[in-house]
Structure 1
């Protein structure tokens, strides 16, 4: 490990995993703005915030013990919705929708009575003001349902149950039509989805549901249906190879009219969680966040001019877009600025932060900004990553930490990441790899990983290292890799198959592919069919790729970190992998976290994990 520079101090771990609050799922409703706010300084709870108008002081609608969280599909999202009179949120402990009015001192009340474990799990709602009800998703043990709940409280009314999964419902401005997405196993929603629409009859039922996009064997992914103020239905579709906005014109042929942006880019994201928004419709225009080569930008499509134009912003990490009238809001960050709520004045084409971004840590003397990395990947095609050079002043090649994102459909993002700055301030280079299969580069790029998980992702990560070594930036004797979940699997596979990786840190990794086919949650129960192959027909392929089956080929130091409450990757997988390595006389390190699940929520635990990772790599890698 490189000797630290005396000129620039290393960023302290307590300034990396701090106590800063984070906003999620912003929602504009007229002049009112709502958002969920995660508060590490209040035991990690998430509260619901409301701002009645631009410039007004925010109001905490769920103070005290209340917290928002959904566990639908294990990953959750879709935490709340609102009308002009009240908001409905998913309460963390019960998982049940609760309503809260905007009156001072109002207390939340459940919309369902009875034991929470008998009610299912809820998320992704909207308020049907005409019928005074909440519409959203209820997950049962076997399927999803579209349900309605009276705002006054009562029993759920099932509106739709035809597919394994559903959600992302959108109500027309007149309140007479509902659009939503469905998909069925073994497909994931970024592989195949269907868009459905139905009139709503006088009894509040879906009177004539019809599929209007997707299906019939079509490998098309659809994202975020929404209605314009004029009553036109829009959705993002990747039938062109890129997630692109489409407008439904049922009286024309073809009925779906694409609204392609001037450049190849993605206007959607993999639907791991509910509540994601990359498009919004104001009275004057359609707005879209678009990702090109790993960077996000904001575009506007005025209904009258019908031509896209880019709205210049100083930020290139954008999400959570929402709009009404001439106002729009999104979450924005950059390589040098932390995430903040950003307000957009569409008429003046100006922007300003609604709240100041969290200040930079005092210990962050110099920021390492990402450099786009293009290299030939494991299948001979161009692959992508972001390289962060060390900020210390030592000469010569640096140690390198390779990051493998989760998903594996995720993407390496460019917003300021203090965990990365932690390493660069200690003399490390960091490469965050968008290996084949990542989002943000079109459908063909995602499909490169079909049947190749554990092969192409590993080869791409190794190719990124080779590219940096060739440039003289990296010491090949001091290359480590780390990742969580699917990224943990890629890390283990890389340690087994690629000698350039000298050590690894795996957080809640997939270790046993066969076991995962039998013991995983419903949402991902068919995912491996596409990533590996059909089970059990391709059993030999599962054995060849499974770290547990190949544990005899693992000779590198590895640290496993696992939450004991994990329901996505059961803890038994890691424990059995560690035991297999110990039987061979190796000494893998294991860190078990009693109260953590899939992903570590506690700030103190996150600090503990980062400190343990650095100490481990310091011990096992050669020092210069």
Structure 2
């Protein structure tokens, strides 16, 4: 059945959606200059350092050629580059080059300077993973995280090169070091399995002596897995002599402050909540380099998420004062001397750099690439609340198809990854790819998603494969009940954890007629036994303790219930994936073939968990659309 004649479509091409649009990350303001990372899909996913001086409005690439800035700590990485000032006041960047996994120094104040290697490994590559660091100007060194042989350490390395110095070894994991302005104290975050950092983590603090060594660290906030109340902390920063951290003991990640200058002892820190809002001032710590709050020297600034929308503001006199700006999707906040910058987008503006002059409130937004769609042609998100699993209020964003919603339109349900991620409202050209072809899209914040408080996040505890599946099916039904989609033309897609939700939904729900899984989990037992260190105990909280809950794992694994699937599925899998090994996808596809279900499998030899190459991303989008179009007879 064709689309109604009133639906005039101008389809976006996959090349326009994904081909050359870079992803911007981790902006830093230093001395009036602005630096940021740019990941380029058209250069095989290479990440480079960009910069714009205080005097020059034109951005330039600081690491051209083959430099690829990438951290592999905890597999997901983040924080591959630290930018700061040396003891002599010169600006410097220290980054991890993925070619040899070593740390390199780049002198930012010297135009045309070549990076200098700070480590000399015995072989072709350093035998550990480094990243998530900062510049210590007093000791003229880099401080960051080393993961090697299944162990995390806080380490230091002189900016002139040399040997790594071990500063602290946590009980399990660590990250997010923050050095006080006078260099006398170092704060950081720790967590222990089976907890993930957003489940239960703690803030640690130690004195730094004249030789750069740390005193024995002490826990000053948060919780350990043995404590009665699970508390998560996120991103310590220094606001002068005060230590600020996001803490969710109230049920939401709100900001708290400790005036360390008033206390010589670390034994009984007195934390004062700065705000008490039903808003999230943090994100799940999957990677290093995330930032939701910043100190510009005088002001404490933050981004916060309320009911799925992000906003920018200043904490002033224990009050939250909004800063006017056009974006509703914000990340990577930095600030200095009355200026702030972050990565931002809106429903009609692509992701780019948002900059605000706090003295006069003037802002500018520079998109990473021009928007290929006229504003009037953009399908904008409509908030959708519906009764999800157990009748609980659940949120999603619905994007109507070009030409408007109608009962004959196909519907695509998106199940995000994580599963702690969230469906955001910034312009997503991949969603517009579908709406420009007459599809409606519903992007679901199923139970377990971030942005709605700890209780919403904890709906998924022990219920992965149940709550998320029910919520995705209920979201689709809500759109159908509104007369905006054809009940027999509902597809679901997702990657990683979203891929698991996709496969589970196809097994345990009859709401969907086709699916697309990108590196999705098919066998929970295999994931529990084979996955990497960071997620080795993640499923304890999502499913149940392994191996005691083996029967639950088997009952929830799509691979064990292929006979319950009755609709076509397309799979995409990187052959270098260490999070979800390719064998899981191959076994799932073969089980469906034996049942006679239409299956297509696309394998990518040089991709891992999460596709980085533009050519791969284009192929995935085009192949998914062609697969659905064929099986929906569109």
- On whether the aligned pair clears a TM of 0.5, the verdict is yes
C-alpha distance in 1, partners of 2:478/2:42?
42
Task: For 1:595-614, list aligned pairs within 5 A.
Answer: 595-614=606-625
* Cα pair 2:101 2:126 within 8 Å, conserved: no
Change (3 A) 1:42 1:511: closer
Shift in Å, 1:583: 2.7
* Cα pair 1:392 1:424 within 8 Å, conserved: no
Matched, 1:320 2:332: yes
Matched, 1:71 2:75: no
C-alpha distance in 1, partners of 2:405/2:531?
46
* Cα pair 1:12 1:363 within 8 Å, conserved: no
Task: For 1:348-359, list aligned pairs within 5 A.
Answer: 348-353=360-365, 355-359=366-370
* Cα pair 1:319 1:332 within 8 Å, conserved: yes
* TM-score, L = length of structure 1: 0.96
Which residue pairs with 1:237 in the alignment? 247
Which residue pairs with 2:421 in the alignment? 410
Matched, 1:367 2:368: no
* Cα pair 1:4 1:427 within 8 Å, conserved: no
Matched, 1:87 2:97: no
Matched, 1:546 2:560: no
Change (3 A) 1:562 1:63: same
CA RMSD for the aligned pairs? 1.8
Corresponding residue SS for 2:74: helix
Shift in Å, 1:621: 1.8
Shift in Å, 1:394: 8.1
Q: 1:97 aligns with which of 94, 103, 106?
A: 103
Matched, 1:472 2:493: no
Q: 1:532 aligns with which of 515, 532, 543?
A: 543
Corresponding residue SS for 2:105: strand
Shift in Å, 1:18: 2.6
Corresponding residue SS for 1:344: strand
Matched, 1:264 2:265: no
C-alpha distance in 2, partners of 1:544/1:172?
50
Residues matched between the structures, number: 618
C-alpha distance in 1, partners of 2:568/2:593?
12
Shift in Å, 1:350: 2.3
Matched, 1:145 2:159: no
Change (3 A) 1:395 1:57: closer
Which residue pairs with 2:310 in the alignment? 296
* Cα pair 2:464 2:542 within 8 Å, conserved: yes
C-alpha distance in 2, partners of 1:469/1:178?
54
Which residue pairs with 1:3 in the alignment? 3
Task: For 1:354-503, list aligned pairs within 5 A.
Answer: 355-361=366-372, 366-392=377-403, 396-503=407-514
Which residue pairs with 1:168 in the alignment? 176
* Mean Cα deviation higher: 585-594 or 421-430: 585-594
* TM-score, L = length of structure 2: 0.94
Shift in Å, 1:373: 0.5
Change (3 A) 1:489 1:434: same
* Cα pair 1:450 1:532 within 8 Å, conserved: yes
Shift in Å, 1:549: 1.2
Shift in Å, 1:538: 1.0
* Mean Cα deviation higher: 209-218 or 450-459: 209-218
Shift in Å, 1:614: 0.8
Which residue pairs with 2:221 in the alignment? 213
C-alpha distance in 2, partners of 1:139/1:429?
44
C-alpha distance in 2, partners of 1:402/1:362?
22
* Cα pair 1:95 1:116 within 8 Å, conserved: no
C-alpha distance in 1, partners of 2:524/2:404?
43
CA-to-partner distance for each residue in 1:318-341, whole Å, 9 max, x for gaps?
A: 111000111111111001000111
Corresponding residue SS for 1:131: coil
Shift in Å, 1:249: 3.6
CA-to-partner distance for each residue in 1:215-260, whole Å, 9 max, x for gaps?
A: 35141110000001x2100000000000000001455887110011
Which residue pairs with 1:113 in the alignment? 120
Structure 1 unaligned spans of 5+: none
Structure 2 unaligned spans of 5+: none
Change (3 A) 1:385 1:502: same
Matched, 1:560 2:560: no
